[in-house]
Each structure stands twice: as structure tokens, then as C-alpha cells.
Structure 1
């Protein structure tokens, strides 16, 4: 269906994205590709992702592929060729994402009632059916990067359809003539993202969470994460050689930089890890640490499968269904970071090193915050003290001594 575009507006609410194409895993340099309905890779996207994979971490290729798949579906819906797109298509896509529901392969089941609501236990909002502002910003960044590649190659449009907003300043006002021109300003159609507070699990809730885990494997990975503050993907990549039992250290590969780093973990975490490995059996040095508890036949016999991020999410889904919560694996990283930031024996630089932040300002902006519950408790104590003081009877106030009384005590004062 073609939507006619006049000079002013397009009927956003009438647009439905088609189920066009898919993202598929591929062999070779580019690990993920956008495939059209005929099973053929989309050539402009493939060439961009090949260049992107050479310049960036391969782990980001998948998210960029999905962002471009959404963009290609949008171009199909509005009947515009990819090299003829303008800022109007980007503007309307942002407007559409702000009011549309996500495309789902399967409808919601148990989470239908809680979608978009606030959890009564954790005070966290459940994910809704719409697109979050961060998703919209990521989409804009992906599309702009895609067209920057093709403009530089000379085969795309002359102007990037994702414009920058330079209000209040002249572009390149302080440009050094010896350096190349670079883009300035923020993306014009980026929605604002409210600053979120780190999500900490209180100590009393932590006991409930840990008690709801059903296996030593789950207890080991949760205890390990809440002590070393690693990301979920970093923990899932652990191998046997990454465990230093004598010093109680684990070696992770940082998500952003890919650098290897040893992190200290608690003795309790290594106890649970030892119990889990005793059940698993002999672990080879270059073998993955985390495996599924059930054995499946994938054509090579009945055997355990390496634990994926979806399997880890399933662990938290079972716990959340039991406790009525909505905890995630990332909440453990926040909990560990906040505990360390409040310890007087640790400096902010120590916390930054453990978390793997490049800039110290990232650590301070996120984790140097007052605990809301503690602030409320202190203010409540302050108000209670004021109320107690108000109930006490007034104390007599001395009005001063009379001159005649002073004369009796000290004799007549000189005039």
C-alpha cells in the first residue's frame, strides 16, 4: 500500500510495518545479515555491515542489523527507495515509533496484565509494548551511520536523511583548517531519555531472591555477579582457565573494549561454583563454565548445551513468577556497584576499575547517588524529632538580674 506524501504530513497512525525480511546469522566476516523475503541478503546493508564489523566490535553487528531491518520495513511501508529517503521519512518513523506497539513473533501470555505497570515489590516499571526512547535513539544512530557510509562511498543521497540539530551555534565555528570536518550537534529527532536511578536489590529482598533459586548453577552465577559486578554477557563467556581458585579471581572479557580483566569475587561465590562444578563433572581448561541443566539431542546425541542469555533470562523469569518481582541480571551489577560505592575503604577509582568504565564521570554520575530509602528514613526521623520537641513543655527563660540584686551581692557599683 502506498501512502501519498504531501508537503506537510503523512498519516502516521494508518501505517503498519510489513513482516518483510528477517535478520539471520551468517558465516564469514559479517556474523549477521538482513535477508529479504526471497532469502537474498540486502546488498546495501551487507556492504555497510561488512565495513561496520571491521571498524567495531562484532557483537554490535546484530543490533545494527535489526535497526536496519526496521528501517527497510519502514521504507517498504511508505514506498520510498533507500537512496531516495529524506529527513521526512526519518521524522515520520520517529513519530510512528512513539505511538506504535512492537512487532512480536508471539503474543504476550503471563505478562499481559503487568506490561507497562509498576511492580509493587521492586518499584520498577515492567517493560511495555511500545518502543522505549532509547530504542528510538539507537534507531536514529544506526540509520545515520548507514547513510554516512554511503555518502562517503559516493553512492547514496547527497544529504544524510538523519539531520543534526545545531540551534544556537554556527556549524564548525571553531574548526581547525588542518583537521577534517566532523559532524556537530545532536540528532534532531532524538527523544529525551529520563535519567534512571541504579536498581539496587535490598538486603532483605536479596535473601528471598537467593532462596528462590533452584540449582547450584543458578546460585553460583548470581553470587558471582553480585560480588564482582560483571555484565551478564561477560560472565556467560567464562571458561575454565578464567577461574583463579587460589586468589579467588575471575577473568572477564569486557563488553565494550574486549580487554581482559581479572575481577575479585567473594568466597561464598566460589563455594557455590565448586558445588556446581562437582555436579557438572570434569571441566576442560578451554571449555565454557556455564551449561544447561537438561540434556538435549541436537543431532549429536543427548548432551548439555552451553548456557545462553535467553536461558539466563529464563532463570529470572521463574524467580520473578515465584516472588512477584521483576528483577534482571543487570540489577545484580547495580547492587554490587552501589555496595562498593558506599564502602569507605574503597575509592571511586576502585569502583570504576571493577565496573570497567572508561571515564570516571560515568561511575560518579550513575552510582554516587543517595539511596532514596535512606534519605526518606533520615527525613522521617528529623520530622519525628521536631514533633517530640513541640510536645515538650516550654522551659523557663531568665529575664536578667535587677540592679538592686547585683548591689547586694557585689556591693555598690561605681557610678
Structure 2
């Protein structure tokens, strides 16, 4: 009966139900927990997330993996399918739905429970979803799932089922998210990754092709406007440190007060992947803004100790500043300009500034950014769309100046007017 339902399944009007949630527990042993519609932990997801934590993953990894697992379980719950009875057809329909359907519209928590007539309409004047932003040129968030989101989800679910197949969990027999079979991905060729060659690399059957993103920098004049749009000493200090150090957003937000050493003009961060403790050089301006922020914060009663976090909320009750709050702070400054830069674009901006310095060896830039391989910087050598347009316009301008500067020969050969008259049959009478 279920096989007949699968063969005749039509997901054109399917809406993913808002069942369950991904709960942030605050427990380092289990940072995130996937719950079902009744608030009960989803055991297969909990076991897999525990495996991820044992692999020395970042605490944020269970969050991104948990969101993909929750989306898949919601799909199965809506169709009445047990997770260990899912087939390749179910995986196919799920990935097809993610590709074609619009993302679910989520109502802001302030408007939940209100009538639809009382929910304010979206603000006008913004570019349509998926179209380039007129200020930055970056595409805006589209109405559909991006290829990167779909590829990440496919990988997470394939590894999820591989794990449970190895553990012989439940009645699972095959992985519903298979690899490409009987076909060598010759178009990938031989790939280099840190000097290691990977031949005949296989990929997921339903994994989409992800276009490579070109990093973008914030121009100097626009950076000045964004900086001026910030409201507090804290926000300006954060922006100055992000652009000066090239640290990731989360790395800078987890710095302790003792990690900012003014005398040495360095700030100490814990690297995302390796969890290494690294000192990064910053500008004097960044430390000036930091000192202004600390003086005003300490007067208000923010905890002061070298082992306490460096960045705090601006209002009581005092809490360490988290990524989502920092992102919203930066988005407010973006909205003043109609831009859509992200916190990660600040890291790209810092990288471009360092690579533009002829006296800065790229190997030092690699160490500052915390990259494992020097080849990671190759993406910054690829021109952006704006660079290509500027280069094309400059080329046309040089050609025009060359034509204007080149004198026309006096005895330049030309067509005989009489010959032209005979050719076109003109009557000279």
C-alpha cells in the first residue's frame, strides 16, 4: 500500500509542517537536541549528533546538522513514514521538493498567534528575492533553497544513514541517499587538495552542483558609511577588529577580556577548526574603540575580569554577545545603505587588504586567516563581476584615447566618388 502511495505521490501542494524543533540545551555534552511534535527527543538523531561531538566537531556543527535532520524528519512525519523504512523514492521526492518548492514562510516570533490581517506586510523598496542587490551586487536570499543548502542537506542525511547502517540500528537495510553508481566522475578529473590527489571521486546521486562563490570585499567608501551607521562603541570596535584581524565572526565573539593585549597590539582567538589559541595583530584604532567601549560598559556594571567574555549585550540582563545578535547589529547598518553584506564579507575584506600589500607574503596571510593550505587563497585571485566590468570599461577608454591621439594621414586612400556613382547607379545630371 505504501509503495502505491510512493509511486503516485504528488508534492506540488506539499507544505512542510512546523513539527518539532531543534532545542539549544546549553549542555556541552549535548549542545542541540532534535525534538518531535510532542517534545520528545528523536533517538536516531540524538545518537548521530553524539557521534559528531565525539569526532571533535565544533559546537556549531550539531546545530547545522540538526536543522537538516529536523527538515527530513518533518518530511517523513508528514507522510507517515518511519525513518528506518525510508526508501530511495522518499529521498528522491524530498530532494526534488527542496529543489522546486519555495522555502516555508516563517512568521516572526513577535507576530505568532496574531491574525494574518495584523501581521505587518514586508517592507517595500527591497530587491526581489534572488536578484542582485543594487549596492553590493550580491544576490539576495532567494525564495527557494540554494544549491549549497541542498548539497549540505544531502551530505548530512547520507552520512546519517551510513552511520546507522554501520551501527545496525532499527530495521534499516539500505541507505536511501545513495552514491552515484557505475560511473566515474571523469569531469572532476584529478583534484588537488593540499597536495593530495583524489581520483575517481564519487558523489551523492541527488547532490546538486554548487557554484563556487567569489569572495567580495566592502569598498573603502562603503565601509566608512557602514562604520558611521553603527550605534555604539562596542559595534565599532567589533567592526574594526574584524577588518583588522581577518578573524571569523564567531572566533572574535568568543575572545576573553584577557585576550586583548593593548601593549602588544594583539588579540587572542580560538580557531574554528583546530581549536588552537592564536594571537592576531590589530590596528591602534581598533584598540581605541575597544577602550571606549570597555570604559562605558564597566560604568554600567558589565562584569570585569580577564576570564570573562570581552563582548557583552548593551542592556541588562548582561549576557555574552552571541553570533545572531552581532549579525542583526550588522544588518541594521546594512539596511541604512540598502546593502546585504555579511559578517563573513568583513573577513574577505581583510584578506583583500592584506593581499593588496606587496610587502605582505601570502604565506603570512594564510597563517593569519588560519587556513591549512596556501592554495585556499587562490579564490582571491579570481576577478569578480565588478572587476571584469571595470577592466572592460578601462580597456574601451584606453582604445578611445589611442584613436584620438593617432593622427589621420593626409594622403589616406579613399574611394573615388565617380566609381561610387557608377556602382550605386546615381544620376549625376
Q: 1:213 aligns with which of 230, 242, 252?
A: 230
Q: Deviations over 1:256-285 (max 9, x none)?
A: 221211111111111111111111117310
- Which protein has the larger Cα radius of gyration, Structure 1 or Structure 2? 1
Query: Which whole-Å CA distance do the structure 2 matches of 1:233 and 1:380 have between them?
Result: 39
Q: What is the TM-score with the length of structure 1 in the denominator?
A: 0.84
User: For residues 346-357 of structure 1, what are the structure 2 equivalents within 5 Å?
Assistant: 346-357=360-371
Question: Could you say if the C-alpha distance between residues 33 and 374 of structure 1 is closer, same or farther in structure 2, counting changes exceeding 3 Å?
Answer: closer
Where does residue 36 of structure 1 map in the other structure? Answer: 36
Q: Deviations over 1:20-39 (max 9, x none)?
A: 21111233622111112222
Where does residue 94 of structure 1 map in the other structure? Answer: 95
Cα deviation, residue 154, structure 1: 1.5
Q: Deviations over 1:147-192 (max 9, x none)?
A: 111111112522211111145339xxxxxxxxxxxx9611111111
- SS of residue in 1 equivalent to 2:314: strand
Unaligned runs of 5+ in 2: 109-120, 186-199, 412-429
Where does residue 194 of structure 1 map in the other structure? Answer: 211
User: For residues 328-343 of structure 1, what are the structure 2 equivalents within 5 Å?
Assistant: 328-343=342-357
Where does residue 175 of structure 1 map in the other structure? Answer: none
Where does residue 381 of structure 1 map in the other structure? Answer: 394
Where does residue 369 of structure 1 map in the other structure? Answer: 382
**Contact 1:213-1:319 at 8 Å conserved across structures:** yes
Query: Which whole-Å CA distance do the structure 2 matches of 1:316 and 1:48 have between them?
Result: 34
Where does residue 155 of structure 1 map in the other structure? Answer: 169
Where does residue 314 of structure 1 map in the other structure? Answer: 328
**Contact 1:3-1:79 at 8 Å conserved across structures:** no
Where does residue 21 of structure 2 map in the other structure? Answer: 22
Cα deviation, residue 372, structure 1: 4.8
Question: Could you say if the C-alpha distance between residues 305 and 198 of structure 1 is closer, same or farther in structure 2, counting changes exceeding 3 Å?
Answer: same
**Mapped pair 1:109 → 2:130:** no
Number of corresponding residues: 375
- SS of residue in 2 equivalent to 1:141: helix
Where does residue 64 of structure 2 map in the other structure? Answer: 63
Where does residue 48 of structure 1 map in the other structure? Answer: 48
**Mapped pair 1:360 → 2:378:** no
Question: Could you say if the C-alpha distance between residues 219 and 396 of structure 1 is closer, same or farther in structure 2, counting changes exceeding 3 Å?
Answer: same
- SS of residue in 2 equivalent to 1:304: coil
User: For residues 99-138 of structure 1, what are the structure 2 equivalents within 5 Å?
Assistant: 99-106=100-107, 109-110=122-123, 113-114=126-127, 115-138=129-152
Query: Which whole-Å CA distance do the structure 2 matches of 1:374 and 1:164 have between them?
Result: 38
Query: Which whole-Å CA distance do the structure 1 matches of 2:201 and 2:391 have between them?
Result: 45
**Contact 1:48-1:146 at 8 Å conserved across structures:** yes
Question: Could you say if the C-alpha distance between residues 382 and 59 of structure 1 is closer, same or farther in structure 2, counting changes exceeding 3 Å?
Answer: closer
Q: Deviations over 1:83-127 (max 9, x none)?
A: 111221111111101122223441673379533332111111211
Question: Could you say if the C-alpha distance between residues 18 and 216 of structure 1 is closer, same or farther in structure 2, counting changes exceeding 3 Å?
Answer: same
Where does residue 231 of structure 1 map in the other structure? Answer: 248
Question: Could you say if the C-alpha distance between residues 23 and 381 of structure 1 is closer, same or farther in structure 2, counting changes exceeding 3 Å?
Answer: closer
**Contact 1:252-1:262 at 8 Å conserved across structures:** yes
Query: Which whole-Å CA distance do the structure 1 matches of 2:305 and 2:204 have between them?
Result: 49
Cα deviation, residue 368, structure 1: 1.8
**Contact 2:155-2:207 at 8 Å conserved across structures:** no
Cα deviation, residue 374, structure 1: 4.7
Query: Which whole-Å CA distance do the structure 1 matches of 2:61 and 2:143 have between them?
Result: 24
Question: Could you say if the C-alpha distance between residues 383 and 117 of structure 1 is closer, same or farther in structure 2, counting changes exceeding 3 Å?
Answer: closer
Query: Which whole-Å CA distance do the structure 2 matches of 1:222 and 1:4 have between them?
Result: 57
Query: Which whole-Å CA distance do the structure 2 matches of 1:245 and 1:229 have between them?
Result: 18
**Mapped pair 1:241 → 2:272:** no
Query: Which whole-Å CA distance do the structure 2 matches of 1:288 and 1:272 have between them?
Result: 17
Where does residue 291 of structure 2 map in the other structure? Answer: 274
Q: Deviations over 1:190-220 (max 9, x none)?
A: 1111122112101111111111111111110
Query: Which whole-Å CA distance do the structure 2 matches of 1:213 and 1:290 have between them?
Result: 16
Unaligned runs of 5+ in 1: 171-182, 296-302, 398-415
Comparing 371-380 with 40-49, greater Cα deviation is found at 371-380
